[in-house]
């Protein structure tokens, strides 16, 4: 049995626990949340993972695996110290790695603890193909993301555009993956994931649309290089609990945990 501790009890974390609550090979031992959220988290966790404890810090515990489903701040606060102690970790909030030096800090912490941190693919596919293409030499990677206007609420787009009044697809950002992840951290994890698998945060180009004509999160990737080229279009349904997040992100976490826990992995 894989003993897992999870950072976060929001839409992603709850979705993961709901799917895995009947899996005999995965046990959630602890859920880490800020002290101010512990009472609410206990109410949720009690029905999804009755044996799990809700805590504000990992403490001296050593789970088989620590997974981040809480947002960018959790990486510095919880993941890096756990890696230094030799605890293997998974990270969902890839957009946080646009912060200069954070990738190096994660790698250094994992090396110091003689363990590994896995960056999950989340809402996008073809990461294995892109990473393989990088070996032979990539020339360009362009990511275009389209989401309904309401998915861009509480972002810089809300101050620059009247999102409720948009009648046609509108470009709200165009630039590098690093800048996209910095300005839209809750919406641009896909761009950061593609860049880390491919050309890097500064060479991966990103275009983001607020599109009243779509009800799903639409991801389009075009890559060219020595291998040839590929184009990928994905239409991801957003989580009902959080329209900024794709439901596929939850399934990505579940798959990664299943690959760790089960005898057959693919």
**CA dihedral sign, ordered 212, 214, 218, 222:** negative
- Does residue 219 carry a catalytic annotation? yes
Q: What is the largest CA-CA distance in the chain?
A: 54
- Distance in angstroms (rounded) separating the CA atoms of residues 245 and 250: 9
- Distance in angstroms (rounded) separating the CA atoms of residues 198 and 128: 10
Chain mean position to CA 139: 25
Q: Which one is catalytic: 3, 72, 78, 219? A: 219
User: If phi over 0 gives left and psi between -120 and 50 gives alpha, with beta otherwise, what is residue 190?
Assistant: alpha
End-to-end CA, the chain? 18
- Distance in angstroms (rounded) separating the CA atoms of residues 58 and 79: 10
Catalytic residues: 219
């Amino acid at each position: 049995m894989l003993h897992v501790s999870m950072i976060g009890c929001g839409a992603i974390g709850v979705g993961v626990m709901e799917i895995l609550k009947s899996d005999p090979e995965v046990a959630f031992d602890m859920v880490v949340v800020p002290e101010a959220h512990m009472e609410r988290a206990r109410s949720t966790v009690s029905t999804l993972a009755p044996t799990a404890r809700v805590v504000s810090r990992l403490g001296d515990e050593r789970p088989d695996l620590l997974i981040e489903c809480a947002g960018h701040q959790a990486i510095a606060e919880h993941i890096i110290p756990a890696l230094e102690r030799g605890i293997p970790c998974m990270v969902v909030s890839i957009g946080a790695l646009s912060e200069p030096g954070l990738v190096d800090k994660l790698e250094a912490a994992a090396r110091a603890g003689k363990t590994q941190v896995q960056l999950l693919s989340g809402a996008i596919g073809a990461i294995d193909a892109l990473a393989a293409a990088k070996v032979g030499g990539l020339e360009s990677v362009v990511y275009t993301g389209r989401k309904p206007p309401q998915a861009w609420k509480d972002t810089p787009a809300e101050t620059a555009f009247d999102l409720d009044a948009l009648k046609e697809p509108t470009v709200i950002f165009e630039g590098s993956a690093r800048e996209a992840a910095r300005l839209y951290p809750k919406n641009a994890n896909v761009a950061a994931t593609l860049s880390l698998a491919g050309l890097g945060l500064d060479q991966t180009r990103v275009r983001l649309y607020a599109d009243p004509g779509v009800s799903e999160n639409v991801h389009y990737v075009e890559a060219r290089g020595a291998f040839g080229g590929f184009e990928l279009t994905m239409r991801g349904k957003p989580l009902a609990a959080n329209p900024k997040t794709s439901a596929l992100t939850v399934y990505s976490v579940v798959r990664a945990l299943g690959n760790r826990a089960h005898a057959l992995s693919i």
